[in-house]
A and B are shown apart, each in its own frame.
Chain A
Amino acid sequence: MLIFQHSSKGRQNKAQIAITAPSNNLVPEHLRRKTPAFLPEVSELQAVRHYTRLSQKNFSIDSHFYPLGSCTMKYNPRACNILASLPGFTQLHPQAPLIMQQGFMACMFELQEILAEITGMPAISLAPMAGAQGEFAGIAMIKAYHDARNDTARCEILVPDAAHGTNPATAVMCGYKVREIPTNLEGDVDISALKAAISEKTAGIMLTNPSTLGVFERQIKDISDIIHKAGGLLYYDGANLNAILGKVRPGDMGFDVIHMNLHKTFSTPHGGGGPGAGPVGVSHRLRPYLPVPIVVKNKHSDNTFTYQWEDEQQHPQSIGQLSAYNGNAGILLRAYIYARMLGKEGMIRVAEYATLNANYMMQRLKNSGFEVTFPRRATHEFIISLRYLAKHYNVNAMDFAKRLLDKGFHAPTTYFPLLVPECFLIEPTETESKEAIDAFVEAMQEIAEEAKNDPNLVKNAPYTLPVQRLDDVKAARELNLIYTTTNID
């Protein structure tokens, strides 16, 4: 039900009505609207109830296990949000005098240092406002690097088919042509196909490691050598760092640039479009092109120091500014607080439990008869294929996913990555208990039995939710999000 459907024409709450109507004399006559705004006429209490009810219909990490692979729906400690919401932060205007910003800037400077240490990259910019902008900044820097060397024939970016789905779009946005590189049956990049695709046109490669197949790319050093020898650069999609925190660093693998989705790994809830933060880290050769502003710490002769913003004046080769100020301050603060609360030891435990939980669940599902696509050790996530059930019982991955909702679990990622048929990409994350993981495995076993004994039960799921199957084809073909008065009458 929409809030407009609660509306009743001319509704007033006499108990709450303002004593004097606000004057609109401050707005010049010609700027005032001629027709009343189309707003729902509801009381404050009705509005509160309406949106509270809607929120209760959500599947969310606060209410349900949410093993959505590639998305890292983990618990974000409330403390990070509380500390990032201290008035000293929230009431700080970005144009306040520098002397009033020193505390915030100290946090940002230290966050740059922490991310440099985690990624093994010598320099960081916190400027990108989200993952997509971080990816864009990364490839824009690769382009700026080649352009600065007059190496302009490089027009292709290689993207393995196990890379994140957004990578080809980023390369195209930056004016490159995409060449897809296949993956072998073990889940590693097909090296002979990579060698065949390399040429004087190669600007670089975009890799996700661990890949979206939930396995670690074991030949990364070879790939790095091959690309660098050909004059290209390596881009690391660090959308999710859960599996590698404190364990292995993209800089040490030979990558030249990485973006990080702080809103996945570093304590900001996400999904639904943001806000996010997508800082970038670079090797020495890309350092001059980092987006600005960047925080620096200046030491003075009396041993005190102050923090300063550096912009295009100090970084003339920078790809530029990506937003009005310095990225998404609130998200960056949460990430800083999360990192400081965990410390290095805690980071390592995040990676260890993220991979332990994934491997435990993978092994239990395998023992229950599910087909694990890449049976070698998983990283923070893994893939199962339900093609056996699809073929023999006509119950596909989507049906299975919908039935999981009835059992009280958010479905894993379905039909991604594209190269595995009828797949689930499952990521339990480090914040789930063994009990939660076991309960999910049991639900999976139950549904597999249902699919064999009573396929229609699964094919018609869900039964317990406010909406059943949505018409996603109609939504894609005839998307209409506008509610008009004619809908009311």
Chain B
Amino acid sequence: MNAIPEELKYTQTHEWVRVEGNEVIIGITHHAQELLGDMVYVELPETGSCFSIEEDCAVVESVKAASDIYAPLDGEIIAVNDNLADSPELINQSPYEEGWLIRMKITATEQLDNLLDANTYQDVIASEDSK
């Protein structure tokens, strides 16, 4: 089992969130990329577009499936990871660093409290395994 970074926050739907002031960086977890398999295509939102929490804001496509990525928080897209266009495999190789997806300016900081910490996310994965 790959370590789940302590400093990040997580969602039930396997996105991770790195908080930097009122901005966040979002990606998908190691567990998510492992389930999906080799990435072949990533569709990212336009910079400047706004999303509400749980709205689908990006699509990652692997050899197995195309999956929606849900905005973990309300906010505006201020940057996307352009490297993924040519190298979607970065998500597989480095899900928490080079494989990041989007950077958002968040509008409702209180929503951060509802995200999961590393321990709770670990439990989410464990309960999926035993289902």
- Please state if B65 and A473 are interface contacts (CB–CB under 8 Å): no
- Chain B proximity of A140: nearest CB distance (Å): 23
- Please state if A472 and B63 are interface contacts (CB–CB under 8 Å): yes
- Please state if A476 and B131 are interface contacts (CB–CB under 8 Å): no
Question: How far does the alpha carbon of A421 sit from the alpha carbon of B88 in the complex, in Å?
Answer: 23
- Chain A proximity of B2: nearest CB distance (Å): 15
Number of contacts between A and B (CB, 8 Å)?
19
Q: Pick out which of these stretches binds chain A: B16-24, B33-41, B97-105, B111-119.
A: B33-41
Q: What is the chain A residue whose CB lies nearest that of B64?
A: A415
- Please state if A185 and B41 are interface contacts (CB–CB under 8 Å): no
- 6 further interface pairs, Cβ-Cβ under 8 Å (given A415-B64, A473-B38): A418-B65, A418-B67, A473-B40, A473-B89, A476-B40, A477-B88
Within 8 A of A (CB), among B63-112: 63-65, 67, 88-89
- Please state if A477 and B40 are interface contacts (CB–CB under 8 Å): yes
Question: How far does the alpha carbon of A405 sit from the alpha carbon of B67 in the complex, in Å?
Answer: 29
A415: chain B residues at CB < 8 Å are 64-65
Q: What is the chain A residue whose CB lies nearest that of B131?
A: A185
Question: What 0/1 readout, one digit per residue, does chain A (411-452) give for beta carbons within 8 Å of chain B?
Answer: 000010010010000000000000000000000000000000
Question: What 0/1 readout, one digit per residue, does chain A (2-29) give for beta carbons within 8 Å of chain B?
Answer: 0000000000000000000000000000
Given A473-B40, A476-B40, A477-B40, A421–B35 Cβ distance below 8 Å?
A: yes
Question: How far does the alpha carbon of A77 sit from the alpha carbon of B66 in the complex, in Å?
Answer: 36
B65: chain A residues at CB < 8 Å are 415, 418
Return the contact of B41 from the options A421, A472, A476 (Cβ within 8 A).
A476
- Please state if A476 and B63 are interface contacts (CB–CB under 8 Å): yes
Q: What is the chain A residue whose CB lies nearest that of B88?
A: A477
Q: Which 7 A-B pairs have the closest CB atoms?
A: A476-B40, A473-B38, A415-B64, A472-B63, A477-B40, A418-B65, A473-B63
Within 8 A of B (CB), among A457-481: 472-473, 476-477
Q: What is the chain A residue whose CB lies nearest that of B68?
A: A180
B64: chain A residues at CB < 8 Å are 415, 418
Question: How far does the alpha carbon of A421 sit from the alpha carbon of B89 in the complex, in Å?
Answer: 22
- Chain A proximity of B83: nearest CB distance (Å): 14
Question: What 0/1 readout, one digit per residue, does chain A (171-199) give for beta carbons within 8 Å of chain B?
Answer: 00000000000000100000000000000
A421: chain B residues at CB < 8 Å are 35
Within 8 A of B (CB), among A312-336: none
Question: How far does the alpha carbon of A473 sit from the alpha carbon of B92 in the complex, in Å?
Answer: 12
Question: How far does the alpha carbon of A309 sit from the alpha carbon of B38 in the complex, in Å?
Answer: 51
Question: How far does the alpha carbon of A185 sit from the alpha carbon of B38 in the complex, in Å?
Answer: 28
Question: How far does the alpha carbon of A476 sit from the alpha carbon of B131 in the complex, in Å?
Answer: 32
19 CB < 8 A contacts A-B: A185-B131, A415-B64, A415-B65, A418-B64, A418-B65, A418-B67, A421-B35, A472-B38, A472-B63, A473-B38, A473-B40, A473-B63, A473-B89, A476-B40, A476-B41, A476-B63, A477-B40, A477-B41, A477-B88
Within 8 A of B (CB), among A394-419: 415, 418
A477: chain B residues at CB < 8 Å are 40-41, 88
Q: What is the chain A residue whose CB lies nearest that of B92?
A: A473
A473: chain B residues at CB < 8 Å are 38, 40, 63, 89
Question: How far does the alpha carbon of A476 sit from the alpha carbon of B61 in the complex, in Å?
Answer: 10
- Chain A proximity of B127: nearest CB distance (Å): 12
- Chain B proximity of A157: nearest CB distance (Å): 14
Q: What is the chain B residue whose CB lies nearest that of A479?
A: B40
Question: How far does the alpha carbon of A477 sit from the alpha carbon of B62 in the complex, in Å?
Answer: 10
Question: How far does the alpha carbon of A477 sit from the alpha carbon of B40 in the complex, in Å?
Answer: 5
Question: How far does the alpha carbon of A421 sit from the alpha carbon of B64 in the complex, in Å?
Answer: 12
A185: chain B residues at CB < 8 Å are 131
A472: chain B residues at CB < 8 Å are 38, 63
- Chain A proximity of B106: nearest CB distance (Å): 23
Question: What 0/1 readout, one digit per residue, does chain A (231-252) give for beta carbons within 8 Å of chain B?
Answer: 0000000000000000000000
Question: How far does the alpha carbon of A185 sit from the alpha carbon of B131 in the complex, in Å?
Answer: 9
Q: What is the chain A residue whose CB lies nearest that of B35?
A: A421
Question: How far does the alpha carbon of A325 sit from the alpha carbon of B32 in the complex, in Å?
Answer: 47
B41: chain A residues at CB < 8 Å are 476-477
Question: How far does the alpha carbon of A473 sit from the alpha carbon of B65 in the complex, in Å?
Answer: 12
B88: chain A residues at CB < 8 Å are 477
Question: How far does the alpha carbon of A421 sit from the alpha carbon of B35 in the complex, in Å?
Answer: 8
Question: How far does the alpha carbon of A257 sit from the alpha carbon of B67 in the complex, in Å?
Answer: 27
- Chain A proximity of B41: nearest CB distance (Å): 7
